[in-house]
Amino acid sequence: MRILIVNPNTTASMTAKLAAVARRVAAVGTEIVAVNPSYGPASIEGYYDEAFAAPGLLELIAKAPDFDGYVIGCFDDTGLDAARALAAAPVVGIGEAAFHAASLIAGKFSVVTTLARSVAAIEHNLVRYGFAARCAKVRASDVAVLELEEKGSGARAKLSAEIARALAEDGCEAIVLGCAGMADLANSLAQEHDAPIVDGAAAAVKFCEALAALGLKTAKRGGYATPQAKTYAGEFGRHSP
């Protein structure tokens, strides 16, 4: 089985981190390929960045039609719906994967993400997916995405402090890490706080494997129908379905 992980931002160190996390949990026989676009935002922190990350993400999926599953490596699930319309194989976002995993092991979870500006998009996804009542609170840790890539930035300490507050105040039973860049911290934070800490990147890989093994593909009647052939003008002509 081959799974393509697309990091929709252009920061290669995050792509490498996603690949490492994925390979750690992948089943025997699962090949992990991790890529990122050559154009677009260096990190995704809010709706504007999302809009410019989606085309590169979709292009990478379009160019790799033979994979058995696709993982979108941004907690916002950037471009997830469009990717599902495009791909034949299942597509799983790391945000939704984390919510599904947390819901299978806890009554309520809290999300700890990066900046306050990212909270709204996560809350929107929770509402749309159906997890709003399962999520106690979405919290910002005031850590920028790229700080997670810098040694000595103090990012882990800020994140850990916010997790402690969530467990003390929210009535939550598990924590979801709200950024792909936090994937490598899940295990040590789980030990530190003696609570389940869910990393969506690892979860998305396993759920993608699961769907592929089950022979399930995205439904093509409704919103995920294959895009209709039509003219795309100008510089986006090459993306025409």
Instruction: In angstroms, give the least distance from the CB of 92 to a copy of itself.
Output: 6
Is residue 82 a contact residue for a copy of itself (CB under 8 A)? yes
Q: Which is nearer to a copy of itself, 43 or 141 (CB)?
A: 43
Is residue 152 a contact residue for a copy of itself (CB under 8 A)? no
Is residue 17 a contact residue for a copy of itself (CB under 8 A)? no
Is residue 20 a contact residue for a copy of itself (CB under 8 A)? no
For residue 115, what are its two tokens? 């900046």
Q: Pick from 174, 177, 183, 185 the residue near a copy of itself by CB under 8 A.
A: 174
For residue 62, with 0-12 CB atoms within 10 Å meaning exposed, 13-18 middle and 19 or more buried, which class applies? middle
Stretch that binds a copy of itself, among 130-138, 147-155, 157-165, 176-184 (CB under 8 A): 130-138
Q: Pick from 55, 73, 178, 181 the residue near a copy of itself by CB under 8 A.
A: 55
Instruction: In angstroms, give the least distance from the CB of 105 to a copy of itself.
Output: 5
Is residue 192 a contact residue for a copy of itself (CB under 8 A)? no
For residue 214, what are its two tokens? 């089950």
Is residue 23 a contact residue for a copy of itself (CB under 8 A)? no
Is residue 47 a contact residue for a copy of itself (CB under 8 A)? yes
Cβ atoms within 10 Å, residue 148 = 24
Instruction: In angstroms, give the least distance from the CB of 154 to a copy of itself.
Output: 19
Is residue 143 a contact residue for a copy of itself (CB under 8 A)? no
Integer Cα distance of 178 and 114 in angstroms: 7
Is residue 210 a contact residue for a copy of itself (CB under 8 A)? yes
Contact between 2 and 165 (Cβ < 8 Å) = no
Q: Which candidate, 114, 103, 182, 172, places its Cα nearest to that of 143?
A: 114
Instruction: In angstroms, give the least distance from the CB of 198 to a copy of itself.
Output: 7
CA angle, corner 140, sides to 139 and 143, nearest 5? 150
List the beta bridge partners of residue 2.
Answer: 31
Helix (H, G, I), strand (E, B) or coil at 50: helix
Integer Cα distance of 211 and 207 in angstroms: 6
Q: Which candidate, 38, 197, 187, 172, places its Cα nearest to that of 109?
A: 172
